[in-house]
Structure 1
């Protein structure tokens, strides 16, 4: 992967997209956190490497395998026929919802006919997080924060697998939940939590052969909790839609036996189930109504968040321990001086932490 003469800011592999990388505003935090991962996946492909693919197996456990970026995007990442549409709707899912479909982080499309190939969520995550930075390297983990809209896309992805067989979906759900009169009342819903995750489990097992890439989770590794990149610092994990359910379903199974309140993880399981249940009855989901009404006295700013201690259980591997991309290779991904257009957050605590000289004034005075 030799260097080429590139004179304007760009990202490796992103030939055609709805972002103009020559403009400074395109390098803001929110945009960079999705465009850089898309480029990183293309870079892996250019090196002949595959993404780590987290899939669900027949024991409802996470299995590590490989996924090429071509399989991830639906076309080779360097194809002249591939368009990267960031922050866009994955329009094939419009038919499943009432109202407006949320936007997803990345939609890949064919240029020749405009067909959507993939709708992908992206979570660029730091390794380690605050809960694992003092542990040994092999136990490092990433915090992951999930938006409510991600649950909507998860429901749509699952619905897309089974939409041709709604009767099967109805059979898996059954009629036991019809006795819940008020889904907004925690006391009515709590007794059914294990049944709710049981439905998600049975449906997942039935759809195992159809699971597909859902969320891209690149990792960037630092030396402990410092701001210094590790020598081997970048890699990419990809969650299938069914594997992703484990992040909140497994915790719901545990919490349902001990918790008296509905946590964010439990609420996410309820949201997913309710969307699937509504689709089985109406062939549409009113996702906004479900999320707004089934809040259970918790803000809807995020669906849930998991610490690195939890995500490490699913992601632990030699690649998590030692990412394959060296920090020196970042210059092969961010091209044409694009790094000069970045606008990092100015956080007071970070500035103090990175200004040790402030606390050496007394020594200097001596």
Structure 2
């Protein structure tokens, strides 16, 4: 009897039940969806930064997303794994990222994976054209993002130092809210200069599959699934664009901008950065478990594609993605409010 499996995932560090757990399925299913779109020659939506620092929507093949033309059965999907080529840019252990793509001994692509629903809690009651998805970003996401940018610009570190040094050299205490808040405008300016100069070197970083429901209900819409891909530069725009805050404050977005500037400046100066120290010290009184969150009212302006509202794939593809009874391996959480909503409708109709 064939084991439950997911389309396209043959070589992986997750086997059996590890494909289907709550936290695991949120990354294994997106990988399978990407493999399916790849074999059907369906491109993903690619969000990238242009020279005007605007995030624009184009298309990207899954070959380019995976950074390999090898067939799915030859690719290794390593979940929650370290992308070893980036380790040389850090003094400390860079730890893992959601998904690492390898072909044999070739390191192809590290990817953050964010499976999100459309509409989210902030947009479901608006007209359908305004629906959006919430995106929650971890500190590990932005640190890997910075490492990827460093790799892309490895041969340009002297020029990068020239961009950042006029502002960063004079900073005495990077962990000081007062000092950083007083120069936040200057930090944003140099980040903008950097992105304009090197936007041609951006690359895919975050894979955001979306699943669309009928309004707030859990029922899938007729157009149910798609994949958006954020470049590393595009993801950075989400916090750089929102970094301005009152003169004495440093909000979460400005914190992310300061961390990015510090990492890039250190890398351009010494070739390596103390990532753990930077992320633990530069908190500015904010909780450190979450980098920042973007509601659907924000992400919809970046995910400016008709496919945000009209995903390209129907619900029936689930039968091609989840194989050999894999759906029976899923164990969704039971919530009391959900049980009341779906199980007692007849009781309330009798009143």
The aligned length equals 351
Q: Identify which of 109, 114, 127 aligns with 1:118.
A: 109
Q: Identify which of 315, 323, 331 aligns with 2:311.
A: 323
Is 1:83 equivalent to 2:76 in the alignment? yes
Q: How do 1:50-61 residues align onto structure 2 when only pairs under 5 Å count?
A: 50-61=43-54
- Aligned to 2:178, the other structure's residue is in SS state helix
Paired residues of 1:13 and 1:77 also in contact (CA < 8 A)? no
Q: How do 1:347-366 residues align onto structure 2 when only pairs under 5 Å count?
A: 347-357=335-345, 359-360=347-348, 363=351
Match of 1:262 in 2: 250
Paired residues of 1:13 and 1:78 also in contact (CA < 8 A)? no
Q: 1:9 to 1:55 in 2, by over 3 A?
A: same
Listed as ranges, the gaps of 5+ residues in structure 2 are: none
Q: CA RMSD in A?
A: 1.6
Alpha-carbon shift at residue 343 of structure 1 (Å): 1.7
Q: 1:181 to 1:358 in 2, by over 3 A?
A: farther
Paired residues of 1:161 and 1:207 also in contact (CA < 8 A)? no
Q: Distance in 1 between matches of 2:130 and 2:342?
A: 26
Match of 2:260 in 1: 272
Match of 1:44 in 2: 37
Paired residues of 2:56 and 2:304 also in contact (CA < 8 A)? no
Match of 1:235 in 2: 226
Spell out, residue by residue over 1:47-92, the C-alpha distance to the aligned partner (whole angstroms, 9 max, x if none): 2210101111011001111111111112246344311111110100
Match of 2:204 in 1: 213
Alpha-carbon shift at residue 259 of structure 1 (Å): 6.2
Q: How do 1:277-296 residues align onto structure 2 when only pairs under 5 Å count?
A: 277-296=265-284
Paired residues of 1:14 and 1:78 also in contact (CA < 8 A)? no
- Aligned to 2:242, the other structure's residue is in SS state helix
Match of 2:85 in 1: 92
Q: Identify which of 163, 177, 180 aligns with 1:186.
A: 177
Q: Distance in 2 between matches of 1:102 and 1:183?
A: 24
Spell out, residue by residue over 1:257-277, the C-alpha distance to the aligned partner (whole angstroms, 9 max, x if none): x46422111111111111111
Is 1:70 equivalent to 2:58 in the alignment? no
Match of 2:2 in 1: 7
Match of 2:102 in 1: 109
Listed as ranges, the gaps of 5+ residues in structure 1 are: 1-5
Paired residues of 1:42 and 1:78 also in contact (CA < 8 A)? no
Q: Distance in 1 between matches of 2:71 and 2:154?
A: 33
Is 1:156 equivalent to 2:147 in the alignment? yes
Q: 1:15 to 1:25 in 2, by over 3 A?
A: closer
Match of 1:248 in 2: 239
Is 1:30 equivalent to 2:23 in the alignment? yes
Q: Distance in 2 between matches of 1:140 and 1:300?
A: 29
Q: 1:80 to 1:203 in 2, by over 3 A?
A: same
Alpha-carbon shift at residue 348 of structure 1 (Å): 2.4
**What TM-score, normalized by structure 1, do the two folds share?**
0.92
Q: Distance in 2 between matches of 1:131 and 1:259?
A: 29
Paired residues of 1:87 and 1:106 also in contact (CA < 8 A)? yes
- Aligned to 2:12, the other structure's residue is in SS state coil
> Is the deviation greater in 124-133 or in 262-271?
262-271
Q: Distance in 1 between matches of 2:171 and 2:60?
A: 41
Q: Distance in 2 between matches of 1:76 and 1:352?
A: 49
> Is the deviation greater in 213-222 or in 337-346?
337-346
Alpha-carbon shift at residue 108 of structure 1 (Å): 0.7
